């Protein structure tokens, strides 16, 4: 019997788990407890975790196969680990928009596990938004319309040639991007705008400002009013939680039902995070 507790940090989503050291070879009971808390709260947090990259990878693999990012150069010797880094003299934050991870893939991420290696003395919080609540707050008419629609997702806006030409000079030092793979960012996939979670059976909105380009069978211009409304709606304050990082803290979130947003308010300080991403399945 494991001895742990789960403490919610907000009404919409988010909870801290105390009493579990994820650097250890955890029992199946402990892994199931974490999975249950994740499904209940969409994002769970652990404090004071002293994780090596190997331990980080091993923990992630308890929940599934790990994704190797096609566009960001990984940690040397650890292809599953992305180093999310902002140096003290840089101003650009990586992923600075509300999003779910890698929705440009046919089988997007199930979950992401982010470990704080170095944090600023203040600032640098991350927010998450509950997409079950976002869907449930819509009118019946909007729900009916959206449930018939699919959206086109692509990495073009983040990693395509035009995008990298505009911001590559800001990324080439701390966040190393594969310039020779920009053609892969042109690939498009479609996902339902309303996704049914494969484990909980609940419906969630599944569009995001980073990777959703347009509604299927519509132009970008025709799609924009609907999508921009949904982007604003998805991040309403009452759907969110906010986490203040400390060294060694870990966040594990469910990309199938939550979006996240890293706040860029710590210029002048260095911030280093390590992320592994658990592979998912085809949204339905």
Q: Which of 99, 195, 214, 256 is catalytic?
A: 99
Catalytic, 191? Answer no
Residues 6+ apart with CB under 8 A from 68: 74, 79, 80
169/179 Cα distance (integer angstroms): 12
Cβ–Cβ under 8 Å, residues 236 and 134: yes
Set 101, 153, 256, 274: catalytic member: 101
The span from the CA of 191 to the CA of 248, in Å, is: 35
Distance CA 245, CA 92 (A): 19
- For residue 177, which of 68, 79, 73 has the smallest C-alpha distance? 73
| Alpha carbons 154 and 216: distance in angstroms, whole number | 12
| Active-site annotation holds for 274 | no
Dig out the tokens for 153 from the structure. Answer: 């997702």
> Dihedral sign, CA of 101, 260, 44, 118?
positive
Determine which one of 256, 260, 271, 274 is catalytic: 260
Q: Annotated catalytic, 153? A: no
Sheet of 126-130: strand order equals 240-243, 126-130, 258-262
Our answer to whether residue 242 is catalytic in this structure is no
Catalytic site residues?
99, 101, 260, 275
């Amino acid at each position: 019997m494991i001895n742990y507790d789960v403490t919610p940090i907000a009404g919409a989503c988010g909870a801290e788990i105390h009493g579990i050291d994820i650097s250890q070879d955890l029992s199946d009971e402990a892994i199931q407890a974490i999975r249950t808390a994740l499904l209940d709260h969409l994002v769970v947090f652990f404090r004071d975790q002293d994780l090596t990259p190997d331990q980080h990878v091993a923990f992630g693999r308890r929940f599934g196969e790990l994704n190797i990012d096609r566009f960001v150069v990984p940690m040397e010797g650890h292809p599953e680990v992305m180093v999310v880094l902002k140096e003290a003299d840089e101003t650009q934050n990586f992923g600075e928009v509300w999003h779910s991870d890698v929705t440009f893939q046919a089988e997007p991420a199930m979950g992401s596990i982010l470990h704080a290696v170095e944090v600023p003395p203040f600032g640098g919080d991350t927010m998450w938004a509950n997409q079950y609540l976002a869907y449930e707050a819509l009118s019946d008419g909007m729900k009916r319309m959206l449930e018939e629609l699919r959206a086109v997702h692509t990495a073009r806006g983040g990693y395509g040639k035009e995008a990298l030409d505009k911001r590559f000079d800001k990324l080439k030092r701390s966040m190393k991007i594969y310039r020779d793979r920009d053609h892969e960012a042109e690939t498009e996939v479609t996902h339902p705008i309303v996704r049914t979670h494969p484990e909980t059976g609940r419906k969630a909105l599944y569009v995001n400002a980073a990777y959703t380009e347009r509604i299927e069978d519509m132009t970008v211009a025709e799609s924009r009013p609907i999508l921009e409304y949904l982007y604003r709606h998805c991040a309403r304050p009452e759907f969110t939680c906010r986490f203040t990082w400390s060294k060694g803290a870990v966040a594990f979130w469910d990309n199938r039902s939550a979006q996240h947003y890293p706040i860029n308010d710590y210029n002048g300080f260095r911030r280093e995070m390590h992320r592994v991403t658990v592979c998912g399945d085809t949204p339905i």
